[in-house]
Structure 1
Amino acid sequence: MSTFIRSGCGEKGSALRVEDALHRMLDAVTPVKGYEQVGLLDAWCRVLHEPVVAAIDVPSRANAAVDGYAVRAADLPGPGGVAELAVIGTARAGHPFPGTVQAGQAVRIMTGAHLPEGADTVLPQEQVEAQGAGIRVGEGHGQGDNVRLAGEDIARGTTVLAPGRYLTPPDIGLIASLGQGEVKVKRRPRVALLSTGDELCALGHPLPAGGLYDSNRYTLHAALKRLNVKVMDQGIVPDEPERLREALTRAAANADVVVSSGGVSVGEADFVRDVLLALGSIELWKVAMKPGRPIAFGRIGGAVFIGLPGNPVAALVCFFQFVQPVLEKKMGISERPVVPVFKAIAAHRLSKKPGRTEFQRGILDPTPGGWRVRSSGHQGSAILTSMSRGNCLIVLPHDAGPVEVGEAVDVVPFAAFM
């Protein structure tokens, strides 16, 4: 997913604008090194390491685009004329006609079958009249009609896919059409994932007083798996500086990117910032956005570190806005996927303060007059149901104020990145 925030300028001394924070993160990240050769069925959602070059023409030979009759254009009648041709055989896909089409002859041919020697045109079966062992054809046909030429889709020697290509299902089929069963792809980034907080409880255990089940790790794990990176689950780390130091040191030693949730605000038990400063560096800390103002970005040794807020909605919105683009660059994707942003009419008033970008969760509905969007419910950053029942983000720009009923707003459908 590419970012869906338009560029702008941040203000010195204040929290960074969303777009400026993302640019700083991306500038600090380089793609992983190394590659592996994988079977084509395992190459989906991987990133090409070297170009795919066609060793054959696709199609390999001229073939029929329709069911009909293969003929010589020289035998076609002129204006007002009719020609009678003898049908001498049949060509089917995988079963070519073995002979040569001579003057006054035709071959019954099926879609995809190789064009017989001597023929250069295919007449659709609906446009000829079958007559015993032959056919009658009238005017209106031209040389080369309904013929797919050899190399029409891909010519031998053509670079079909360039390095850095994020392989999609059509790409996999394209490579298969060249007869290539394996490809070299870039190594998958290793992402260490952990949650912090004394209040967090593992699933399957009774909740203690004041406890919460750790939902963030499961939410973020699912989002990471969609990117096809290698996820290393580091579990829950309590709010103890030494335990956090040990966990982050261990994670950074084995990962390209470390992602944590919780512990990045300014509470007495939020230790991530101090531990990160002791172990490595912090490159940014606050972003002018809602939800998700506190977010940490820095380094621990050779690993990139991103500390997300602990509130579930804030963690997920920050993941899609920052972590996913960072990982796409880390993966070596040369052309990041496009995320659609389009306008919808607000069905009701949306509260908004200038000075921060807001990502409100909404429900997008089609209407005869176009798209309308309404809130998916309470917009608190801890209300994960607002994302579960919603189907889009309503993106309200940094400098904008409240939105009134009937005004147009930018929306990003969840289907684009979830």
Structure 2
Amino acid sequence: MLSVTEARDRILALLAPTGSEIVTLAEAAGRVLAAPVVARLTQPPLDVSAMDGFALRAADATVGARLRIIGAAPAGHPFAGSVGAGEAVRLFTGSVVPSGADCIVIQEDTTFDDDVVILNAAGHPGKHVRGAGLDFTIGDVLLEPGRRLTARDIGLAAAANHPWLTVHRKPIIAVLATGDEIAMPGDPIPPGGIVSSNSHALAGFIRAVGGVPIILPIALDDRAAIATAAQAAARADLLITTGGASVGTHDLVQAGLADLGLDLDFWKIAMRPGKPLMFGRLGALPVLGLPGNPVSAMVCALLFGKPAIERLCGLPGDPPPSEPARCTIPLAANDQRADHLRATLTRDADGSWLVTPFGPQDSSLLRRLALADAVVLRAPYARAEPAGTVVDIIRLAACGL
């Protein structure tokens, strides 16, 4: 059996980012840049005032100086003349500093009427002046490719005069659930059957990490039916199957996909839940086969689906971020499989995380996954640990789950 790390590395090695497309700024948040954002102007374009006040020569900026007000320059309406000795121009935040002035005395440090301003504080060259290009200059590379765009990035691109950005296309992820016993929510449930939760849970997760999900019709436990259903994913960037990946008589995903020419890369991971994980290719289409048990499917989606989709989006495909927490209960020794224990989180008095794993961790208990805040990571052959041990956790909400 492969380790979690080795399996993830082998998946990522066979994936490449999607092509690029051009979108408006309004559509760009959360997308991954495919081309650099280069400043198309200088910001600020000229010297501007950082405060409301008066522009003057620093040579005149002495306490008690009495200066003649020769005009005003609201933001967007620069003063056309030049400031000479004994003169001042009233400015506002963002106003262009007029020619001849090299200093600003803020309004609170003056006494003034319509004609004259008296300085109650001294100034010096450059005081309260934002120099041209203080933020960036034309030609500066502001944002590099491979960056997931935040609202802050969108603001920067807008300030650099970009109405459009080049981003990676959102990858299309086809989701195929298999099994005679499952039905979609609201459909008739077969005798002894269950409602399928995996397709919709995976679709929500795919959206959260940047993909576009397409839920395919359920495929029955028949290799021909599975092959036919999988053909509907031909134009997707990734096919995720759920169920039928184990070795039972009715676990026919591998067989059905083999009929289409599946090139199987690996199957079975040393982890719990989620041992029967499969990865391969149908021609150019990567196929990630998840277990059918709901918890196993979602834990595998977290550990392998998230990095895979992010790689397709144009990101590196890093493992889900982990962080330390102190476990409130004792932990038993582990066997040869990495464990991922569903758990709740609280804060200690010092603000650090306290983590409490649930009791039974059966992979069918979807309610406990919904109530969980995190999974506790337990390495293969980890020794028994007492309550209070610091462990690594993955916070689910931070990963879109």
Superposition TM-score, scaled by structure 1 size: 0.88
- With over 3 angstroms needed to count, the CA separation of the structure-2 counterparts of 1:380 and 1:89, relative to structure 1, is farther
2:162 to 173, 180, 188: 180
Contact map agreement 1:84 1:137 (CA 8 A) in 2:
no
SS at match of 2:6: helix
For 2:244, the aligned partner's letter is G
Alignment of 1:217-296 (within 5 A): 217-251=199-233, 253-278=234-259, 279-296=261-278
- With over 3 angstroms needed to count, the CA separation of the structure-2 counterparts of 1:98 and 1:300, relative to structure 1, is same
SS at match of 1:156: coil
Q: Once the 2 structures are TM-superposed, how far is the Cα of residue 407 of structure 1 from its aligned partner?
A: 0.9
Q: 2:117 aligned with 1:134, yes or no?
A: yes
Q: Once the 2 structures are TM-superposed, how far is the Cα of residue 131 of structure 1 from its aligned partner?
A: 4.0
For residues 213-269 of structure 1, the C-alpha deviation after alignment (integer angstroms, 9 at most, x for no partner) is 111100110111123323222121111111001112332x22221001111112211
Distance 1:273 1:17 in 2: 21
Q: Once the 2 structures are TM-superposed, how far is the Cα of residue 156 of structure 1 from its aligned partner?
A: 0.5
Q: Once the 2 structures are TM-superposed, how far is the Cα of residue 189 of structure 1 from its aligned partner?
A: 2.1
Q: Once the 2 structures are TM-superposed, how far is the Cα of residue 82 of structure 1 from its aligned partner?
A: 4.2
Distance 1:204 1:304 in 2: 31
Q: Once the 2 structures are TM-superposed, how far is the Cα of residue 353 of structure 1 from its aligned partner?
A: 0.9
Distance 1:387 1:122 in 2: 60
Query: Who is 1:331 aligned against?
Result: 313
Q: Once the 2 structures are TM-superposed, how far is the Cα of residue 97 of structure 1 from its aligned partner?
A: 3.3
Distance 1:199 1:119 in 2: 81
For residues 286-341 of structure 1, the C-alpha deviation after alignment (integer angstroms, 9 at most, x for no partner) is 111111111000001110000011111111111121112112222223x5578543
Distance 1:378 1:66 in 2: 62
- With over 3 angstroms needed to count, the CA separation of the structure-2 counterparts of 1:68 and 1:372, relative to structure 1, is farther
Distance 2:319 2:301 in 1: 17
1:44 to 19, 22, 29: 29
Distance 2:125 2:321 in 1: 43
- With over 3 angstroms needed to count, the CA separation of the structure-2 counterparts of 1:409 and 1:38, relative to structure 1, is same
RMSD value, Cα? 2.2
2:2 to 16, 23, 29: 16
Runs of 5+ consecutive residues of structure 2 not aligned to the other structure = none
Query: Who is 2:329 aligned against?
Result: 348
Query: Who is 1:364 aligned against?
Result: 345
Contact map agreement 1:87 1:135 (CA 8 A) in 2:
no
Report how many aligned residue pairs link the two structures. Answer: 396
For residues 341-371 of structure 1, the C-alpha deviation after alignment (integer angstroms, 9 at most, x for no partner) is 3211111123451422222222221222332
For 1:258, the aligned partner's letter is L
- With over 3 angstroms needed to count, the CA separation of the structure-2 counterparts of 1:196 and 1:163, relative to structure 1, is same
SS at match of 2:204: helix
Distance 2:301 2:319 in 1: 17
Query: Who is 2:152 aligned against?
Result: 170
Distance 2:176 2:35 in 1: 34
Query: Who is 1:106 aligned against?
Result: 88
Distance 1:220 1:44 in 2: 22
Q: 2:378 aligned with 1:392, yes or no?
A: no
Distance 1:95 1:337 in 2: 50
Contact map agreement 1:378 1:386 (CA 8 A) in 2:
no
Distance 1:337 1:295 in 2: 19
Distance 2:8 2:163 in 1: 38
- With over 3 angstroms needed to count, the CA separation of the structure-2 counterparts of 1:89 and 1:392, relative to structure 1, is farther
For 1:235, the aligned partner's letter is P
Contact map agreement 1:203 1:214 (CA 8 A) in 2:
yes
Contact map agreement 2:34 2:167 (CA 8 A) in 1:
yes
SS at match of 2:125: coil
Identity %: 37
Deviates more, 1:312-321 or 1:381-390: 381-390
Query: Who is 1:25 aligned against?
Result: 11
- With over 3 angstroms needed to count, the CA separation of the structure-2 counterparts of 1:354 and 1:110, relative to structure 1, is farther
